[in-house]
Structure 1
Amino acid sequence: MSVAREHPTPASTARALLAFLALTFAITWGVIGSYIFWPDAMAARFGQISGAHPLFFLATWAPAIAAFTVVVATAGLGGLRRFLSRLLIWRCPAPWWGFILLVIPLVYMIGSTIKGGPLLAPKPPEGVGAMVSLMFMMLLLGPIEEFGWRGVAQPLLQRHVAPFWAGVLIGAIWGVWHLPAFYLAGVVFAQWSFLPFFIGNITLAVLVTPIFNAARGSLLLPMLFHWQLINPFWPDAQPWDTWILVGVAAIVVWWKRDMMFTREGAVTEVIPGEARP
């Protein structure tokens, strides 16, 4: 199982990817599944589950935990430090920064307007300060997943398939990974429909793929991308946000088709400095 050997092979890449996925699903589905099948016992022992519960954080952090485990197991703590250095990569063509900072909020605003909603999420009774606090708390939820999805899974898959297909595969896996939460009372997923969410996951994974490759494997930009998706200031735009993003993704894939359907130039390094296959 290797992500950092002199000549990575298909077998070593597959072992690393399977180890990452197995640990990710074991943690998340183990935690959430326990609350689904034994709700009373789990609530009595650990408290009622919610989006702010420590075990919900653990379930959400599973891709990062799995990524760190795989990296340390194959490259040691030195490899982990080099892996984390990808957080410092910020250089990327300006249009992608504009996409993250401007286009994503506009998608939510347009989707909300179509359904007769506001341009921004309503202010809670606690005031704007509560929304700001929640916005920063969200940094510790979804964006942390990117250590796994874009940190490990994307470069490993791009060793063998074109970026577009790597994005589709990760999006499908990402969607299925969320599935148990749709059967869990006390969290936001219980109020959503799975199919639009699943389609949305694939769409988002495809959309972040050219950003990830243009930024040469940056973890910072995918994390900011993910953060914008759960920013509490953006209004509820379901299901229109999903369908708008599908259209945006189609445009982006066509625009960047030369880089989306070839492995040339795709990021394949999990740890900076490791040999390319």
Structure 2
Amino acid sequence: MPAVTLVSYWLMLLAGQPLLAGQPLPEPRISWSAVLIYCVIYFIAGVAEEVGWTGYATGPMQQRWGALGGGVIIGIVWAAWHLVPYLQLHEPAWAFWQCVFTVAARVIIVWLHNNTGRSVFAAVLFHTTMNVTYSMSADGLSYDPAFTAPVMLAAVALIVALWDPKTLARYRFSARRS
């Protein structure tokens, strides 16, 4: 997630975002102790969400619609769940792109879950990292979902190109055994 944020920031610079043109990478405005507190708080919140989204819903959704389809469906519900808070704090365009980001993030979480022995802990860690990274870059200068969502979609496209969309766990280019 930090890499996604950095690539997104770089794209924002290339696009000449008015607030960013000619600006160095912003210094985090929070202390490392605040980051530690964010990690604890977001980990607890991540456990609460991922027990449901990943631990409870992902398996049955994958059985019915495959890993990619199940991830997209859960992602849409997850985005809808967060839509009101997004709209309370931001413009509709921001909320739209944040919803796209949310759906893409869910597919990545399903991929992580399936490739870590169905670990809910891996989902919680990624969820935590997403929230901490956002909080560290939420200064309005280094996070814009209109740039971050396409980077996440590119990551999803790469995952789907390399892993079977039905499982998101079978690497397509591994040596075949007879």
Q: TM-score range by the shorter chain?
A: 0.7 to 0.9
Which of 211, 221, 225 does residue 122 from structure 2 map onto?
Answer: 221
Letter matched to residue 143 of structure 2: A
Larger radius of gyration: 1
Letter matched to residue 122 of structure 1: P
Cα distance in 2 for partners of 1:263, 1:250 equals 11
Which of 78, 95, 112 does residue 194 from structure 1 map onto?
Answer: 95
Cα distance in 1 for partners of 2:167, 2:37 equals 42
Letter matched to residue 237 of structure 1: Y
Deviation sequence 1:36-85 (CA, Å, 0-9, x none):
xxxxxxxxxxxxxxxxxxxxxxxxxxxxxxxxxxxxxxxxxxxxxxxxxx
Deviation sequence 1:151-192 (CA, Å, 0-9, x none):
1110111222211100010001101111221344xxxxx125
Deviation sequence 1:90-133 (CA, Å, 0-9, x none):
xxxxxxxxxxxxxx211111212332465565233xx3322322
Structure 2 residues without counterparts, runs of 5 or longer? 14-19, 171-178
TM-score with structure 1 setting the length: 0.50
Letter matched to residue 250 of structure 1: A
State the partner residue of 1:240. 147
Whether the 8 Å contact between 1:162 and 1:261 is mirrored in structure 2 is yes
Alignment of 1:56-205 (within 5 A): 104-116=1-13, 119=25, 122-124=28-30, 127-184=31-88, 190-191=89-90, 193-205=94-106
Cα distance in 2 for partners of 1:122, 1:263 equals 35
CA gap 1:130/1:211 in 2 versus in 1, 3 angstroms: closer
Cα distance in 1 for partners of 2:60, 2:27 equals 38
Task: Give the deviation of 1:263 after TM superposition.
Answer: 9.4
Structure 1 residues without counterparts, runs of 5 or longer? 1-103, 185-189, 266-277
State the partner residue of 1:261. 166
Cα distance in 1 for partners of 2:102, 2:161 equals 19
Cα distance in 1 for partners of 2:143, 2:50 equals 24
Cα distance in 2 for partners of 1:237, 1:183 equals 16
CA gap 1:224/1:120 in 2 versus in 1, 3 angstroms: farther
CA gap 1:131/1:212 in 2 versus in 1, 3 angstroms: closer
State the partner residue of 2:131. 230
TM-score with structure 2 setting the length: 0.74
Letter matched to residue 228 of structure 1: T
SS in 2 for 1:161: helix
Cα distance in 1 for partners of 2:60, 2:68 equals 14
Q: Which runs of 4+ in 1 moved over 3 A?
A: 116-121, 262-265
Cα distance in 2 for partners of 1:206, 1:226 equals 12
Whether the 8 Å contact between 2:114 and 2:169 is mirrored in structure 1 is no
Cα distance in 1 for partners of 2:163, 2:96 equals 27
Root-mean-square deviation (Å): 2.5
Alignment of 1:13-28 (within 5 A): none
CA gap 1:112/1:143 in 2 versus in 1, 3 angstroms: farther
CA gap 1:120/1:135 in 2 versus in 1, 3 angstroms: farther
CA gap 1:168/1:250 in 2 versus in 1, 3 angstroms: same
Letter matched to residue 178 of structure 1: H
Letter matched to residue 107 of structure 1: V
SS in 1 for 2:29: coil
State the partner residue of 2:174. none
